[in-house]
């Protein structure tokens, strides 16, 4: 039994208290340890993905208690990919936070950041439903701290909304788990899958309630309409690096839906017949529509990106809600794209806000306008799903997956029209920000200042870090496009593994009789 | 006993939902606390309600026992909800002190550029 699986949880869990207790007054040391910890996480995640590629499902029994009595961590293709995605995103975000001095604007940024990574990695790796709740709480507690990082009245009030909303979600989660436990007597996911499948069709009333409650909880996290309204406020007011990191938090909800509703309440089980896909598909189409209309209607760049994040989740959930191997493969591919693109847009939005303010009104030309506009252009192409970046391939895969299904016309119409709306929204915002510039008030001094700032940005390595982070995320998107073939093969293998529930169950429960 | 516990959960949940829908933060936090009490009792009852039985198996003793797992779950849930409540009180207090308002809804202020 390899101990590598637990490292993504244990490592941040040690680094965070160390930062908090030993080096709390030394920002430089905090930065070094935070970056080093994140780099190590990237390394571990690559090693884990390398192990998962073969298709073996690894099980780690905590305290050597056999499943289903103890808690297990399970590493399969999906969880390995999600941990890898988390670590890469975290690296970009922590570099940005250091370069833009966001971590100086409050206390304990790096400690909370590491705790957040611990929670996210744990949520992806765990094979136990109650443990999933615990890791949700870990990542939420850290996110509360990060959300109000830097303070300010507006941000604190948005933070209250965010916390209250998520506390309600946690309560609902517990109700769902209680209901499921009352029926099945287990919370281990593999064991749950076996027992739910064994239930006779007449006994499923209560478990169906549990399944729907659980879907509601994950929908809150994934910001599915009509449970999305916490997202624009929270993301728009959160510090930019935190909002970029939160791009993975909505994906935690999507991951949980993907995991629970293929494994436990699978599409072919009598329990979930007429329950999940029938509700999730229209809801996600609505999410997509409202998100992209929000992009067009927003008057503030941070809010615009938040709505783009909702729209992106909508596309992803359309792919998930179809519950076919083909569509799940598309969803896995799109998850990676959506996380990188959303995070990149939040970081670009922050650069714009720092330089000229976030309101979508004509303002003075900002320093480094050319470079940022190029980044914005690339990010907008990715978010809207235009060629040549991976958003286009992802959307194409979703369209292809819905080809021939009865809902095909509706899905194609919604995805194609919302893409057009998104393109218009981004074009409008980009036009206002980068082209409709006002004449500077003092024509003599400003151009010199611009050059000075430009020079400062290139001279100091720290000040260039935000661009390194953004270009890193862009490089991820480009790599996802160039290496689309291996990525798609990995995604399809992941989908095949998700639908092969028998092997998952055998991997987890079979190890009891070793 | 079942009817008593069930109605207690129902009353707590009802009051909690009502309070959560209020406009100011203080009743909302009270509502969340009530909801977390309701869910704790609910979790406790998912192991079936029995009286005078130990939560462990005793060798050569009783063969019947009560399910210990929900009790462990409740313990975890209590700790988490306690910590969360303390946290939300602090954040709400900070928000109230810095903005002099304790309404949950945020008004759209023109200077922040949020006009939706």
CA distance A75 to A61: 12
Domain-wise residue ranges, chain B:
2-49+66-104
CA distance A309 to A317: 12
CA distance A264 to A286: 26
For the stretch A297-342, pLDDT in tens is 888 888 899 999 999 999 999 999 988 889 999 999 999 999 999 9
Q: Which residues contact A490 (CB under 8 A, 6 or more apart)?
A: A53, A77, A81, A332
Instruction: Name which of B73, B85, B109 to mutate to probe chain A: the one with the most chain A Cβ atoms within 10 A of its Cβ.
Output: B73
Closest CA to A174 of B82, B41, B93, B103: B41
pLDDT of A448: 46
Instruction: Name which of B39, B41, B65, B100 to mutate to probe chain A: the one with the most chain A Cβ atoms within 10 A of its Cβ.
Output: B39
Residue with tokens 């929670």: A119
Angstroms from B79 CA to nearest CA on chain A: 11
Chain centre to alpha carbon of residue A337:
10
Letter string b/e over residues A244-282, b meaning 16 or more CB atoms within 10 A of that residue's CB: bbbbbbbbbbbbbbbbbbbbbbbbebebbeebbbebbbe
CA distance B4 to B49: 11
Tell me whether residues B106 and A159 touch, CB distance under 8 A.
Answer: no
pLDDT of B9: 94
Instruction: Name which of B47, B66, B94, B115 to mutate to probe chain A: the one with the most chain A Cβ atoms within 10 A of its Cβ.
Output: B94
Angstroms from A52 CA to nearest CA on chain B: 31
In this model, does residue A275 exceed pLDDT 80?
no
The DSSP string of A176-204 is HHHHHHHHHS--BHHHHHHHHHHS-GGGG
CA distance A69 to A81: 27
Tokens representing A92 are 């970009």
Q: Categorize the per-residue pLDDT at A268 as very low, low, confident or very high, splitting at 50, 70 and 90.
A: confident
Degrees to nearest 5, angle at CA B107 with A170 and A233: 40
Q: Which residues contact A161 (CB under 8 A, 6 or more apart)?
A: A230, A233, A234, B104, B106
The bridge status of strand A58-61 relative to strand A72-75 is: antiparallel
Tokens representing A384 are 């809207």
Angstroms from B54 CA to nearest CA on chain A: 18
Tokens representing A335 are 């998850």
Q: Does A66 touch chain B (CB under 8 A)?
A: no
pLDDT of A102: 85
Cβ atoms of B113 and B64 closer than 8 Å: no
* Tally of CB atoms within 10 A around A60: 19
pTM as predicted:
0.90
Nearest CB to B95 within list A156, A168, A187 = A156
Q: Could you tell me which chain B residue has the CA closest to the CA of A182? A: B46
Average the pLDDT over A125-133 and give the result.
93
Alpha-carbon distance values, A330 to A318, A379, A407, A434, B102 (Å): 10, 20, 17, 34, 45
CATH number of B2-49+66-104: 1.10.287.3510
Nearest CB to A158 within list B35, B101, B106 = B106
Chain A hits for B116, Cβ within 8 Å: 232, 297-299, 303
For the stretch A372-399, pLDDT in tens is 888 999 999 998 888 888 889 999 999 9
Angstroms from B80 CA to nearest CA on chain A: 8
Give me the residues paired with residue A128 across strands.
A188
ipTM of the complex: 0.89
In this model, does residue A173 exceed pLDDT 90?
yes
Closest CA to A96 of A350, A393, A331: A350
Domain-wise residue ranges, chain A:
3-513
Pinpoint the alpha helices (H) of A26-152: 27-52, 77-99, 109-125, 129-147
Pinpoint the alpha helices (H) of A431-460: 445-459
Q: What percent of chain B is modeled with pLDDT above 70?
A: 89
The DSSP string of A379-394 is HHHHHHT-TTSHHHHH
Q: Could you tell me which chain B residue has the CA closest to the CA of A141? A: B84
Average the pLDDT over A459-486 and give the result.
85
Tell me whether residues A141 and B20 touch, CB distance under 8 A.
Answer: no
Q: What percent of chain A is modeled with pLDDT above 90?
A: 46
Average the pLDDT over A6-35 and give the result.
91
Residue with tokens 């016309």: A409
Angstroms from A330 CA to nearest CA on chain B: 34
Cβ atoms of A331 and A319 closer than 8 Å: yes
Peptide bond into A347 cis (omega under 30): no
CA distance A486 to A489: 5
CA distance A90 to A340: 11
Q: Does A36 touch chain B (CB under 8 A)?
A: no
Q: Which residue has the higher pLDDT, A442 or B93?
A: B93
Q: How many helices (H) and strands (E) does chain A have?
A: 20, 4
For the stretch B12-47, pLDDT in tens is 999 999 999 998 889 999 999 999 999 999 998 888
């Amino acid at each position: 039994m390899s101990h590598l699986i637990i490292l993504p949880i244990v490592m941040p869990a040690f680094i965070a208290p160390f930062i908090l207790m030993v080096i709390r007054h030394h920002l430089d040391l905090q930065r070094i340890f935070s970056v080093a910890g994140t780099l190590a996480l990237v390394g571990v995640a690559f090693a884990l993905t390398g192990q998962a590629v073969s298709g073996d499902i690894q099980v780690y029994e905590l305290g050597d208690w056999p499943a289903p009595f103890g808690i297990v961590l399970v590493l399969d293709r999906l969880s390995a990919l999600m941990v890898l995605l988390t670590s890469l995103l975290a690296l970009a975000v922590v570099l940005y936070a250091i370069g833009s001095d966001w971590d100086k604007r409050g206390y304990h940024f790096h400690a909370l950041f590491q705790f957040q990574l611990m929670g996210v990695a744990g949520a992806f790796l765990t094979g136990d439903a109650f443990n999933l709740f615990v890791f949700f709480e870990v990542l939420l507690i850290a996110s509360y701290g990060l959300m109000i990082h830097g303070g300010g009245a507006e941000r604190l009030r948005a933070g209250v909304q965010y916390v209250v909303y998520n506390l309600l979600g946690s309560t609902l989660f517990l109700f769902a788990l209680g209901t499921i436990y009352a029926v099945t007597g287990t919370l281990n996911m593999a064991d749950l899958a076996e027992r739910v499948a064994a239930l006779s069709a007449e006994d499923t009333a209560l478990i169906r309630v549990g399944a729907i409650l659980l879907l509601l909880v994950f929908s809150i996290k994934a910001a599915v309409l009509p449970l999305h309204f916490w997202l624009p406020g929270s993301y728009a007011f959160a510090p930019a690096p935190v909002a970029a990191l939160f791009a993975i938090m909505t994906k935690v909800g999507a991951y949980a839906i993907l995991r629970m509703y293929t494994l436990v309440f699978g599409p072919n089980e009598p329990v979930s017949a007429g329950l999940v896909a029938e509700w999730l598909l229209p809801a996600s189409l609505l999410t997509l529509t409202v998100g992209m209309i929000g992009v067009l209607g927003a008057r503030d760049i941070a809010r615009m990106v938040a709505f783009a994040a909702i729209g992106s989740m909508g596309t992803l959930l359309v792919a998930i809600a179809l519950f076919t191997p083909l569509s799940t493969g598309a969803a896995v591919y799109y998850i990676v794209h959506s996380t990188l693109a959303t995070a990149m847009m939040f970081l670009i939005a922050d650069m714009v806000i720092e330089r000229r303010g976030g309101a979508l009104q004509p303002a003075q030309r900002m320093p480094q306008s050319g470079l940022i506009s190029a980044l914005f252009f690339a990010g907008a192409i990715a978010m809207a799903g235009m060629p040549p970046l991976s958003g286009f391939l992802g959307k194409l895969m979703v369209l292809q997956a819905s080809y021939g299904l009865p809902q095909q016309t509706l899905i194609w119409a919604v995805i194609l029209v919302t893409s057009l709306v998104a393109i218009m929204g981004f074009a409008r915002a980009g036009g206002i920000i980068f082209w409709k510039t006002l004449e500077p008030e003092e024509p003599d001094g400003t151009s010199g200042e611009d050059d000075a700032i430009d020079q400062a940005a290139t001279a100091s390595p720290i000040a260039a870090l935000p661009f390194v982070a953004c270009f890193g995320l862009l490089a991820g998107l480009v790599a996802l496009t160039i290496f689309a073939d291996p990525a798609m093969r990995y995604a399809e293998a992941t989908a095949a593994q998700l639908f092969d529930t028998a092997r998952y169950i055998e991997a987890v429960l079979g190890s009891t009789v070793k | 006993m079942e009817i008593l516990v069930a109605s207690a959960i129902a009353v707590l949940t009802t009051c909690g939902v009502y309070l959560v829908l209020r406009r100011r933060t203080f009743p909302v936090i009270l509502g969340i606390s009530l909801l977390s009490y309701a869910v704790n009792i609910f979790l406790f009852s998912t192991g079936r309600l029995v009286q005078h039985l130990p939560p462990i198996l005793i060798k050569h003793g009783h063969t019947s026992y009560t399910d210990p797992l929900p009790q462990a779950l409740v313990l975890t849930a209590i700790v988490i909800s306690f910590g969360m409540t303390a946290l939300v009180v602090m954040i709400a207090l900070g928000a109230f002190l810095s903005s002099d308002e304790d309404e949950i809804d945020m008004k759209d202020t023109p200077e922040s550029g949020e006009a939706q």
